[in-house]
Amino acid sequence: MPELCHPIRTAGVRSHPALILILIGAALGGCSGGDFGRTRADFRNDDMHRWLGAEATGSVGLKASAFQLSENERQLRDLAYPLIEPPHSRPAWKSVFGDYQPLPSPWRQNVLFDRTNYGRALIDEPHRSHTSRYQQLIEDVRNDITRFEPFFASAVHVIELDRRRAASLKLVSELSPAEQADALARMEENTLIVQWVQQCLERRISSYRWALERLVIQTPDTIAADADRLIGELAAQTANPPVAAQPVIERAVTVKG
pLDDT for residue 141: 97
Q: pLDDT category, 130, cuts 50, 70, 90? A: confident
Exposed e or buried b per residue across 10-34, where buried means at least 16 C-beta atoms within 10 angstroms of its C-beta = eeeeeeeeeeeeeeeeeeeeeeebe
Report yes or no: 84 and 197 within 8 Å, Cβ to Cβ: yes
Burial of 119 (0-12, 13-18, 19+ CB in 10 A): buried
- Say yes or no to pLDDT of 106 above 60: yes
Overall average pLDDT of the 88-116 stretch? 64
Kindly list the distances between the CA atom of residue 189 and the CA atoms of 30, 38, 194, 225, 248, in Å, as whole numbers in the listed order. 37, 27, 9, 39, 9
For the chain, percent of residues with pLDDT exceeding 70: 70
Distance between CA atoms of residues 191 and 203, nearest Å: 19
Q: pLDDT category, 127, cuts 50, 70, 90? A: confident
Q: pLDDT category, 250, cuts 50, 70, 90? A: low
Helices (H) and strands (E) in the chain, counts: 8, 2
What are 152-204's pLDDT values in tens digits?
A: 999 999 999 999 999 999 999 999 999 999 999 999 999 999 999 999 999 99
- Say yes or no to pLDDT of 81 above 50: yes
Q: pLDDT category, 245, cuts 50, 70, 90? A: low
What are 4-56's pLDDT values in tens digits?
A: 444 434 444 444 554 444 444 444 444 444 443 344 444 456 678 889 999 99
pLDDT higher at 147 or 251: 147
